Amino acid sequence: MIATTERSAPMRVLSDGWVCAKRNLIKIKRVPEIMVFVLLSPIMFVLLFAYVFGGAIDAGPGLDYKEFLIGGIFAQTVVFGATFSGAAMAEDMQKGFIDRFRSLPMARSAVLIGRTGADVVYNVLSLIIMALTGLLVGWRAHHGIPKMLGAFALLLVFAYAVSWIMAWVGLMVPSVDVINNASFMVIMPLTFVSNAFVPTESFPSFLQRFVEWNPVSAVTQAVRDLFGNVPDGTPAPDVWSLQHPVIYTLIWIVIILAVFVPLSVRAYQRASSK
């Protein structure tokens, strides 16, 4: 009987998490502005950088800036999309929903799994819209469908890991305004002090080391490689993190999940026990 209960516990967590994820997705009907942000912001960033800043930015010899750009926009968008978890957890705390969840016969971690899982759905929609916009402005994936799907999967898993960081922060701060400001202060430097929009060589020397080991730079480099947006003959990066960007990104994903999943669950348990 005990063994059966232990085997069923993970299924219960997943089942409860799916219910919580549906709750977060149904919220779109009540607050359609969420979907407007999810769908329009990627289009805005692609068009802004491709046509407004693109002419002033040199991606490097033989590189088409639009193809160089799209990998960075993909990375930036999914990282920003991961902030929904933090804002939602802070809102649930502020409005007392955590207290209501405590009275329900559900796994404690289900709320967090459902919230971060909903972010994956938002990011899938963002990637679809962004890819279509990229095709319209001239971006192409040259290495075939399997590697293209691998790039999208890597982006989604990386964003899912970041969602757990934001969920933990959302449980630690007192309001939605604080999490919005905190996430902006962290994510803006990570995305803009990276190779997402300009080559690493364009940064001052004292920033280049940070850019080279920035996980956002790694995931950006990884998807560019998988999409085939790095032309033949382009000099290879001289640091391990960008020579093996997929492995380096996966290392970061494992570290983030190993640290912030238990931290988030503990923070949620403390919040729900008050």
Query: pLDDT tens digit string along 118-145?
Result: 888 888 988 998 899 888 888 889 888 9
Q: Which of 10-24, 182-196, 245-259 has the highest mean pLDDT?
A: 245-259
pLDDT at 112 over 70: yes
The winner for highest mean pLDDT among 86-90, 128-132, 244-248, 268-272 is 244-248
Cα separation, 99 vs 136, in Å, equals 47
C-alpha 66, offset from chain centre: 21
| pLDDT of residue 49 exceeding 60 | yes
DSSP track, 185-226? HHHHHHHHSSTTTS-GGGS-HHHHHHHHH-HHHHHHHHHHHH
pLDDT of residue 7: 42
d(CA 60, CA 199): 7
Model pLDDT, residue 263 = 93
The percentage of the chain sitting over the pLDDT mark of 70, rounded to a whole number, equals 80
Q: How buried is residue 18: exposed, middle or buried, by Cβ count under 10 Å (0-12/13-18/19+)?
A: middle
- pLDDT score of 88: 80
56 — pLDDT class (breaks 50, 70, 90): low
Condensed to tens digits (0 to 9), the pLDDT of residues 192-228 reads 999 998 888 889 999 999 999 999 999 999 999 999 9
Q: What residues does each domain of the chain span?
A: 27-54+62-272
